[in-house]
A and B are shown apart, each in its own frame.
Chain A
Amino acid sequence: MALINASSPHTRGPVDTGMVMRQVIYATLPGLAILTLLFGIGTLLNVVWAILVAVLCEAAMLRARGRPIALYLRDGSAVVTAVLLALALPPTAPWWLTFIGVAFAIIVAKQLYGGLGMNPFNPAMVGYVLLLISFPVAMTNWVGGAPYRTPDVLESVFQFLGHGALDGLSGATPLDTFRTFAGNADALDRMIVLHGRWAGLGWEWVNLAFLLGGLYLLFRRVIGWHIPLAFLAGLALPALIAWQIDPLRYADPLFHLFSGGTMLGAFFIATDPVSAATSSRGRLIYGALIGILIWVIRTYGGYPDAVAFSVLLLNLAAPFIDYYTRPRTYGHERAKRGAGS
């Protein structure tokens, strides 16, 4: 009888990191489907391409760092990073843009920091910001000029292969448009792109799809409710107040909630556990601050959307938040928090 000698507990829960990552990818599918429907297959092409690049980069880096490649690839974190980054890119992004972003995210933002669990910043957002700063035109070139039209497969493939922007296909996002014409009632009225149900043409559908995926993640307990709820509240509350004060100058809360990368950010980006705060109370603060920061940057900043910047800034603050939000341990009068502990 060769008996196993192991430390307790002798039984494990069914949850597995690889499984968690797979759930995240499944949850992005509705969003991906809507993006493809509305903006052509550009996003789909980019997602597939990004996965390929991410896995190759991850494997190469693991090999260079002398880690077991199969074991670490199985956790699926590289694929998640790739998918999230590709979803955030414009559907018109050419292959090299995706390549640079994904390679930088995996090689620098993740593996050079020590791999999964060691990266202080959300790798997908680091890649995104790199691209946004380096290639601002390509990064803000969204399909959906006026008049609104979905590119066909061939057009998307050409875009992907880098054969220039196609006239009449590209334009600004509703967020960008609103920011440009804020305060000008006539102009705002004329912008067709803003005439969607709540948040501009098509975008509410994208965000609803990501909300659906996020609710699935919540239901499967892959993520907790703290960060998304605080995130959305942190964004909606200032928007509501400002909108009440001056509806012409400030967009309404629904517009903020359902345009741009709000839902993707709230359920998929900010909830990245590695770079987020860890305690429940810390997560509330973390999520709320991201939401507030998004509203501030969207309203007063120079960039059309702000999910990536806000998440990265709060990634920076996460250890600090954790430091001051430790829970009170059983049997202790008070929690040990801050430098005094």
Chain B
Amino acid sequence: MLARLFRGGTREIFDFPGGIHPPEHKSESNTTPILPGPLPSQLILPLNMHIGAPARPLVQVGDKVLKGQHLAEGNGAVSAPVHAPTSGTVVAIGPRPIQHPSGMDAPCLVLEPDGEDRWGDRAPLDDPFALSPGELLERIAEAGIVGLGGAGFPTSVKVSLGDHQRVRELIVNGVECEPFITADDRLMRERAADIVQGIQVLQYLLNPERTLLGIEDNKPEAAAALRAAAVGADIDVRVVPTKYPSGGEKQLIQLLTGKEVGSGGLPIQVGVVCQNVGTAYALKRALFDGEPLISRITTVTGDAVARPGNYEVLLGTPVAELLQHAGVDKTRLQRLVLGGPMMGFTLHNPAIPLVKTSNCLIAASTDLLPEPEPEQACIRCGACADACPASLLPQQLYWYAKNDDLERAQQQNLMDCIECGACAYVCPSHIPLVQYYRYAKGEIRIQAAERAKADRARERFEARQARVEKEQAEKEARRRARQQANRAPAAAGDNAAALKQASLDASKAYKAAVKAAKEAENRGDPDLTRYQAEVEKRKTAADQAKAAVRDAGKAAPPSTDTHPKAEADLKKQVADASAAYKNALREAKAALAEEREDAATLQSRAETLKAEADRLKAALRDARAGQPASAPTAAPDPVEALKKAVAEASSAYKAAVKATKEAEQNEADDAARLRAEADRLKAKADELKQQLRDAKAAAPATPKAAPSPAAAAAPTTTEPAGAGGQASASDEEAAKQQKRLNALKTAYKMAHKQYKEAHSALDRARRDGAVDLAAMEARVEKLKSKADHTRDALDALMDETKASLLAHTGKDLKTLKLDAARAETALRDKSDELKRLRDTADEDTLKRLTSELGTLEHDAHLARRALKQALEEHGLTEE
């Protein structure tokens, strides 16, 4: 009845479904005026008392600060600054336990009050409406004002509208529907005029078509006070029936306008902005009085405090000190709730501070708030569905949440649950329904996050695959091009003669083999088949050699391709001839050992084969000699490449330093990572610089052409002295070459890594939906071309090194390896022979054999060393 009186004639009040009427417990705390809170020994100010990014500290430990002074500034678009609630000294900046359901720590400023409560500069405005909305918004942001009703969303963000947004209704929330809480009630009763002034500021900023102030009918004094204060102002004070949760933003909008905010949407989408009366009051204080948000009204109630009531507490006041101030009886205190009994959460650490959103503190014994009773079976009574203000089916959600059927739970609109607790309140089976929903929501969020992560990883992987493949293809293309370029100058003409010779030799070998086979046949050799196989082999070799000659003849003038083929054929022939010789030799040896008649014949055949093999080898050498090394001048100057790399590295380092500084200023999480990155880049740059110095030192020697062929043959000669002397001559050159090679390798690796990093950064930015990618793309391209360039230089240098090795020794690496292997074989054969003849041969023969063995040993040693040197000095690795 009272409600109807207040509602008045034409003023419409809608209804929302569900809702409950729990015992109000308001009278415990709303009968006394607002009292000042305590001046605690320490104020703990979390940097994140709001929704959004934590504030960035502006003070240091030991700083003396005045009341109202900026201690930390807002950081980013959605953030809010922190001010000193009183004058004093900053004694610590670090993690402290804060208001969080999991009781986790968060960075806080700790202020020790000096008791003087001295204000710093205040800039009250006589007429805030003289300022532009933009300037006002700035002042509101600077004053650290956030929504004081619940979540603590920065007010300046909430009231800055997009271009297309129009506000039809500004709704001011004075409902305060949760039991026990009376902070807004007392505020409205005692400071209604201030609230109206704050609302006028909101009206100025939002320009709404109408302003509705909702207030529950259990607060007639507050409604009367507001009505009186709102005379002349365009504010429609509307009394709504007491029902929990009519103070929920969505429910209040529905109550006053009949509109529903779309699922997952914001009120502004239906032309509504909601603000709490406390926020309006804070706006008044900030603009008209120049006082930033440094205190708030907090209800202290419950049967464990002697003086329940509303206290104007300084932000950062520890809960324990406020409880002390209100006369807590610790023996009775069994449940400590921050917030209301329906949606607040229990505290187990009274050291945590009160923040901008702390509206109520309930210190209760189990008489007032009993321990939760054991959960019983759901009897599907549907009381929860009747109580749900969002028209959900809580009992169904409960089944799904309990069975981890998250998909079905989502299908039943679990995410639209506002966690008001009405369902759990009415449940006759004492099922903690909200707890189940929170769990299921958490699981859904985790799964969504994991899915997103997996998607990102897959995208990243695919992008990387694509990049690697592209790089491989490009590398291969470059390699081909280089080969072509290298081959071009290798004239095929010189080879023709060698090839012809090789062909002749092969034919001869073939004929000899045929002869040998015939002889073997004549004498009835049991190994006839082997001879025949030998003949076949020879024939094939001869044919190939002939074909090679033919090919070379055809393609000779313009061709660049026949040469390697001819060389390969020759190589094969050499190998085959060597093998044939070895076979023949083994047979001859066997025949000798068995003192067969044909031993002499076999011996002679072996000799013939050996001669052939040698001839082929010579032909191969000749053919190779005709193939000049790649032109070293074609390769880009490694010093230049290095210079470029150094420049790039330096600029990358500088950019990283800049980013780090920015990140540090912003208190961004990744500042440390960026710093590390910068350090790493610096080290790289230094290293590159060092390499550049080295390369420069080596540079003058670079253009030097290959030394004389005479010297080149030296390392494989049997004279150790000669080899040593030559080594000293080429050592210096080789060392320089090696240094350059290493420098280039490092430069390439780094350039490639930079490119890769830039590329993945670009990918990340793309995924995050960054708008301005052009600069990043350009940078990636630049880095890529740099890496390619370095790679070209490196490849060229590798080729050059190989060529110079060939020029130095007259042999390429493979030949050296072959030489070494051959020497080893000869040595082994000789030692076998010595062993065999030790008992039978005469002393002279043995002496001769021993000396031969010594020579062979020496040869093998030299060959080994030559190979090893070549490998080491030139840093060549087979790719």
Contact = CB atoms under 8 A, between A and B. Distances in A.
Contacts of A71: 374, 376
Contacts of B335: 3-4, 6, 10
A9 B346 contact: no
B393 A278 contact: yes
A140 to B, nearest CB: 32
B378 A11 contact: no
B345 interface: yes
Interface stretch (B105-113, B432-440, B812-820): B432-440
Contacts of B428: 15-17, 19-20
Interface residues of A, number: 44
Interface residues of B, number: 73
Interface stretch (A43-51, A180-188, A259-267, A329-337): A329-337
B430 interface: yes
Nearest to B374: A71
Interface stretch (A112-120, A124-132, A248-256): A112-120
Given A10-B341, A11-B22, A331-B262, A336 B424 contact: no
Contact of A330 (B371, B383, B389, B424): B389
B372 A17 contact: no
A280 B391 CA distance: 11
Nearest to B265: A331
Interface string B360-404: 001010100111111011111111011001111101100000000
Contacts of A13: 20, 22, 425-427
B260 A331 contact: yes
A8 B260 contact: no
A5 B346 contact: yes
Given A1-B333, A13-B20, A331-B263, A278 B380 contact: yes
A196 interface: no
B391 A1 contact: no
B361 to A, nearest CB: 13
Nearest to B375: A71
Contacts of B366: 4
Given A273-B380, A278-B382, A330 B390 contact: yes
Contact of B421 (A1, A5, A8): A8
B390 A329 contact: yes
A138 B538 CA distance: 114
B90 interface: no
Nearest to A318: B380
A273 B395 CA distance: 12
B792 to A, nearest CB: 62
A11 B411 contact: no
B27 to A, nearest CB: 16
A328 to B, nearest CB: 6
Given A8-B344, A278-B380, A326 B265 contact: no
Interface in B729-777: none
Interface string A267-304: 00000011010111001000000000000000000000
Contacts of B341: 8-11
A19 B427 CA distance: 12
B540 interface: no
B28 to A, nearest CB: 14
- Point out which of A19, A71, A278, A322 has the most chain B C-beta atoms below 10 A from its C-beta: A278
B380 A279 contact: no
Interface of A is mostly: loop
A163 interface: no
A60 to B, nearest CB: 18
A20 B376 CA distance: 13
A320 to B, nearest CB: 14
B336 interface: yes
Given A3-B335, A15-B426, A273-B382, A8 B250 contact: no
Contacts of B75: none
A17 B389 contact: no
Given A3-B333, A12-B373, A330 B250 contact: yes
Contacts of B265: 331
B583 interface: no
Interface of B is mostly: loop
Contact of B379 (A6, A12, A273): A273
Nearest to B25: A11
B52 interface: no
B137 interface: no
B395 A278 contact: yes
B416 to A, nearest CB: 5
A224 interface: yes
A71 B382 CA distance: 22
B434 A332 contact: no
B250 to A, nearest CB: 6
A10 B339 CA distance: 11
A168 interface: no
A331 B250 contact: yes
A115 B425 contact: no
A10 B366 CA distance: 11
B334 A4 contact: yes
A101 to B, nearest CB: 22
A75 interface: yes
A6 B369 CA distance: 11
A7 B385 contact: no
Contact of A279 (B22, B334, B385, B435): B385
B451 to A, nearest CB: 22
Contacts of B336: 3
Contacts of A310: none
Nearest to A330: B390
Interface string B818-851: 0000000000000000000000000000000000
A3 B348 contact: yes
B22 A116 contact: no
Interface string B331-343: 0011111010111
B425 A7 contact: no
A141 B315 CA distance: 79
A323 to B, nearest CB: 10
B547 interface: no
Contacts of B377: 17, 72, 75, 115-118
B475 interface: no
A20 B20 CA distance: 18
Given A71-B376, A117-B378, A327 B393 contact: yes
A15 B383 contact: yes
Contacts of B330: 1
A125 B430 CA distance: 27
A77 interface: yes
Given A17-B376, A331-B250, A331-B262, A273 B385 contact: no
A3 B263 contact: no
A28 to B, nearest CB: 18
Contacts of B343: 8-9
A10 B379 contact: no
A72 B374 CA distance: 11
B869 interface: no
A4 B411 CA distance: 34
A274 B346 contact: no
Contacts of A322: 393, 396
Contacts of B702: none
- Point out which of A5, A77, A117, A331 has the most chain B C-beta atoms below 10 A from its C-beta: A331
5 contacts: A8-B342, A9-B342, A15-B427, A329-B390, A332-B263
Given A4-B369, A10-B335, A326-B412, 13 more contacts: A4-B334, A7-B432, A8-B421, A20-B379, A116-B377, A273-B380, A279-B382, A280-B386, A327-B391, A327-B392, A328-B391, A331-B250, A331-B265
The 5 lowest CB-CB distance pairs between A and B, nearest first, are A9-B421, A331-B263, A117-B377, A273-B381, A330-B390
Interface of B: 16-17, 20, 22-23, 179, 250, 254, 260-265, 330, 333-337, 339, 341-348, 350, 362, 364, 366, 369-374, 376-383, 385-386, 389-393, 395-396, 411-413, 416, 419, 421, 424-430, 432, 434-435, 438
Interface of A: 1-13, 15-17, 19-20, 71-72, 75, 77, 115-118, 224, 273-274, 276, 278-280, 283, 322, 326-332, 336, 341
